[in-house]
Structure 1
Amino acid sequence: MGRVDLDAYVHAHVHEWRRLEELTRQRRLSGAESDELVERYQQVATHLSVVRTSAPDASLVAYLSSVLAKARTRSAGTRTASWRGVVSFFTERFPAALYRIRYWWLGTLAANVLVTGVMIWWLLGNPVVEQSLMDPAQVDQLVNQDFENYYSENAASHFALQVWINNAWVSALCLALGILGLPVVYLLFNNIANLAIIGSIMIRHDHGGHFFGLILPHGLLELTAVFVAGGMGLRLFWSWIEPGSLTRTQSVAREGRTAGTIALGLVAVLLVSGIIEAFVTPSPLPTEARVGIGILAEACFFAYVFGLGRAAYARGHTGDLDAALLEDKVASAA
C-alpha cells in the first residue's frame, strides 16, 4: 500500500476511528453504546493490522494503538465479568490449553510415576536408608498415628483451604520458574521423593493398603494438577530453547500467556482435589468408595481435556488471548 493508497484508506475509515474515540470519552454509555464500543474496537483492531502489514506508518500505528488502548480500558471499566466469559474460559480456553500441551504434562506425569515406583522399589530393597532418615520410634509414630491423623487433625473446611494453598503454591512455582527449566525438575523431584519415602515406610511395615487408601482419593487429581503445572513450566522453558517458526520473544510470550490460562484453571482443579482431601479422604466411607471417588475425579479430568479440550482446540482455541487483544499489544510495541 503506497502513500496515496494509505491516504485513501485513512479517508475511508477515519470516521470509525473518531467514533471509537468519542465513545471512550463519554462519561456514561448505554447498553447499545457499550456494544458499539466492542464492535468498533474489533473494527479498528483489524484496520491497525492492515496498516501494520501493508503500510506501517509510525504515526498512524501509534494513533490507532492509543485509541485501542483507551477503548480497551473503557470497555473493562464499563463491563463486569459475565457468566458467559467464565463459562467460555472453562469450556474453551482452559481445556484447549490443556489439550495443546498434553504431551508435556502427560510426559511429566508418566516420568514422575515411573521415578516414584523405582524409588519405592529401591528404598524397600535398602532398609538402611530408612534407618538413616528416622529412628524406630519416629517410624512407629508415622505408621501408626501421624500419617492418618494428618488428614483429620483440623476442621475439614480449614484443611481444604490449607491443602489448596499449599498445592497452588507448588504449582505456581512450577509455572513461575518454568522459564529456567531446572527448578521445575527440582520441585517435582522433591515432591515425589517425599511421597516415595513415606510410601516405602508404610509398605515395609504392612500399611501399604492404608497408605494407598488415604493417598489415592485426592492424590490422583492433585498430583495430576501439579504435573500439568510442571509440564507447562517445561514447555515454557522449551519455547525459549526452540521457538520454532516464531521469534524467541514471540514464542516465550505465547507460552507465557498460556501459562497464565493454565494457572487460573488449576485454581479450580486444585480446589476440587482439596475438597476431596478434606471431606472424602478422612471420611468413614469404605476404602473402595473413597478410592472410587478419586478415580472418578481423575476420569472426569481426562474426559474434560480429551472431550471439551479436543473440540475447543479443533475450533481454533489454543489457550492464548483473543487475536484482537494480541494485535493491539503487538502494535503498541512497534
Structure 2
Amino acid sequence: MDLDVFVSAHAPEWDRLAQLLARRRRTGAEVDELVTLYQRTATHLSVLRSSAPDPQLVGRLTQLVARARSVVTGTRRAAWSDVLSFLTEGFPAAVYRARRWWVPTALLSVAVAALLGWWIGSHPAVRESIAAPEELREMTRPGGQYETYYSSHPATSFAAQVWTNNAQAVALCLVLGAFLCLPVLYILFQNMLNVAVGIGLMTDAGRLDTFLGLILPHGLLELTAVFVAAGTGLRLGWTVIDPGPRTRRTALAEEGRAALGMALGLALVLFVSGAIEGFVTPSSLPTWARITIGVVAETAFLTYVFVLGSRAVRAGDTGDLESGGRSAAQPVAA
C-alpha cells in the first residue's frame, strides 16, 4: 500500500472529523456525519495497523478514533467548562424561556397574598380563627415571635435549615408539575397564605413596616425562586395536557430535563437567599440597608436571567441537556 496516496485520499475526512469533535454543539446532520466519519476512520486505522504501520500516523488516528468513540458511544465526564456553560447559558436560558409562566405566576401570587393579608387584617373573626388574642399579641409585639424568629438560632445553622426547606419546596414544584399542575397550585397557595398571615397580623398590630423590613431582604430572591419553580412546574403540567407538535413523551422528556437543570440552578439561588436570611435579616443593620441588600440581590438575579438568558436563547440554547448527554429522539442510520 502506498502510504502517501492513502493519506492524501483520506486526510480531508480525518480533518473534518477533528473539526466536528471540536464543536460543542452539533446539528442532526453533523451528528450523522460524525458517526459516518468515525466508522470510516476506525477502518482506516485498522488498515494502517495491518498494512503500513507508521507510528506517528497510527498514534494520531488512534487518538482521533478514541475521541470520536467517546462522543458516539459513551458519556463524557463533566468538566469545569460544563459548569460554566450551565451557569452562563443553560440555567439562565431555561429560566428565561419559562418567563411567560413564572412572571404571571409571581404577579398573581403577590396579588393573592396582598388580598388575603388585607382580609385577615380587616376581619377580627379571621384572626381569632388563627390563634387566641393573647397568642397573636405575643407574636406581633415588639420583640415578639415574628422578630425573634430570625435570630432564634445560630446564623449558620438557621441559613442551612432555611435553604433545605426552601429547596424542598422548589423541588416539589418542579417534580409534581407533571401531575396536571394541581400539586403546584397547592404548594404555591400555602406559601402565599403564610406570607398573607404575617401581613394581616402585623398590619392589625400597626407594625407592617417592621414585617416588611424583616421579610424583604431575603424574601424577594427567595419568593422569586419559588415563583420560577412554580411557573416551570405549571408549564411542565401543561405540556402533559398540550404537548404541541411534539409527541407527549418527547415534550415531557425535553421539558423535564430542563426542569431538572433548573432545580440545580435554583438551589444556588436559594443558597444566596438563605445566607441573606441567616446573616442579614437578623443583623443590626438599619432597615433601609437590609432591604437594599435584598433589592440588589433580586436585581442581580433578574438582570442575570434577562440578559444572559435572552442571549443564550437567541443563540439556540433551550436549557436542555447537550446532545451528548441525552438519548436520541429516533434511531440514526450510519
Shorter-chain TM range is 0.7 to 0.9
Q: Rate the CA distance shift 1:35–1:244 in 2: closer, same or farther, 3 A.
A: same
1:291 aligns with 2:291: yes
Q: Is the 8 A contact 2:178 2:236 kept in 1?
A: yes
Deviation at 1:18, TM superposition (A): 6.7
Deviation at 1:169, TM superposition (A): 0.5
Q: 1:182 — aligned with what?
A: 182
Q: 1:83 — aligned with what?
A: 80
1:151 alignment partner, SS class? helix
Q: 1:225 — aligned with what?
A: 225
Q: 1:125 — aligned with what?
A: 122
Q: 2:203 — aligned with what?
A: 203
Aligned residues: 284
Which aligned pairs between 1:235-254 and structure 2 lie closer than 5 A? 235-254=235-254
Q: Rate the CA distance shift 1:277–1:19 in 2: closer, same or farther, 3 A.
A: farther
Deviation beyond 2 Å, 4+ runs, structure 1: 9-21, 32-42, 323-332
Q: Deviations over 1:8-39 (max 9, x none)?
A: x9997634467999xxxxxxxx9x97776444
Task: Give, in whole Å, the separation in 2 of the partners of 1:239 and 1:284.
Answer: 47
Task: Give, in whole Å, the separation in 2 of the partners of 1:242 and 1:20.
Answer: 49
Deviation at 1:309, TM superposition (A): 0.6
TM-score (normalised: structure 2): 0.79
1:301 aligns with 2:322: no
Q: 1:65 — aligned with what?
A: none
Identity over aligned pairs, percent: 46
Larger Rg: 2
Q: Is the 8 A contact 1:16 1:40 kept in 2?
A: no
Letter in structure 2 aligned against 1:177: L
Deviation at 1:318, TM superposition (A): 0.6
Q: 1:14 — aligned with what?
A: 39
Root-mean-square deviation over aligned CA pairs: 2.6
2:153 alignment partner, SS class? coil
Q: Is the 8 A contact 2:102 2:228 kept in 1?
A: yes
Q: 2:147 — aligned with what?
A: 148
Gaps of 5+ in 2: 1-33, 47-58
Gaps of 5+ in 1: 1-8, 22-29, 45-67
2:258 alignment partner, SS class? helix
Q: Is the 8 A contact 1:120 1:200 kept in 2?
A: yes
2:319 alignment partner, SS class? coil
Q: Is the 8 A contact 2:121 2:199 kept in 1?
A: no
Deviation at 1:207, TM superposition (A): 1.0
Deviation at 1:118, TM superposition (A): 1.0
Letter in structure 1 aligned against 2:140: V
TM-score (normalised: structure 1): 0.79
